Structure 1
Amino acid sequence: MAIVYTCRHCGHVIGKLEQKMVDTSLLGFDQLSTKEKIDMIEYKDNGDVQIKAICEDCEDTLGHHPQYHELDFFIQ
């Protein structure tokens, strides 16, 4: 099982944790609302957990173009 952090905008893999067992409260999952969990966490068929986050490049782009926050995807 791996926890894979990917950018929700460009799909870039930000990081990957290879663990057999993980205390999700240490990762802050318990701080998320139910809606945030649904939007951010996806359980894959192979047992991996995909976390949708934002990479530094996309965060920088959003900082320069705040109107992009209105879009689900701003990278084509």
Structure 2
Amino acid sequence: MSIVYKCRHCGHEIGKLNQQVVDTSMLGWDRLSPEERQEMIHYQSNGDVQIQTICENCEESLGTNPHYHELDYFIQ
């Protein structure tokens, strides 16, 4: 099982944890609301867990262009 962190905007793989056992509270998942968990955490058919997050480049783009928050996708 791997936990794969991907940017929700550009799809870039930010990081990957290859662990069989993971304490999800150490990853901060216990601080997410049920809605946030449903939106961010996706279980794959191969057993991997994909976490939708934001990379530094997309975060910077959103910071300098706040109107991008209104768009579903801002990277073409």
Letter in 1 for 2:38: I
Summarize the alignment of residues 37-76 of structure 1 with structure 2, pairs less than 5 Å apart.
Answer: 37-76=37-76
Pair 1:20 & 2:20 matched? yes
Q: Secondary structure of the equivalent of 1:67?
A: helix
**Structure 1 position 71, deviation (Å):** 1.4
Superposition TM-score, scaled by structure 2 size: 0.98
State the distance in 2 between where 1:37 and 1:72 align.
Answer: 19
**Structure 1 position 70, deviation (Å):** 1.2
For 1:38-75, what per-residue CA distance to the aligned partner results, in whole angstroms no more than 9, with x for missing partners? Answer: 11000000000000000000000001100001112111
Letter in 1 for 2:67: Q
Q: Percent identity?
A: 66
List alignment gaps of at least 5 residues for structure 1: none
Q: Secondary structure of the equivalent of 1:17?
A: strand
State the distance in 2 between where 1:61 and 1:74 align.
Answer: 9
Q: How many residues align?
A: 76
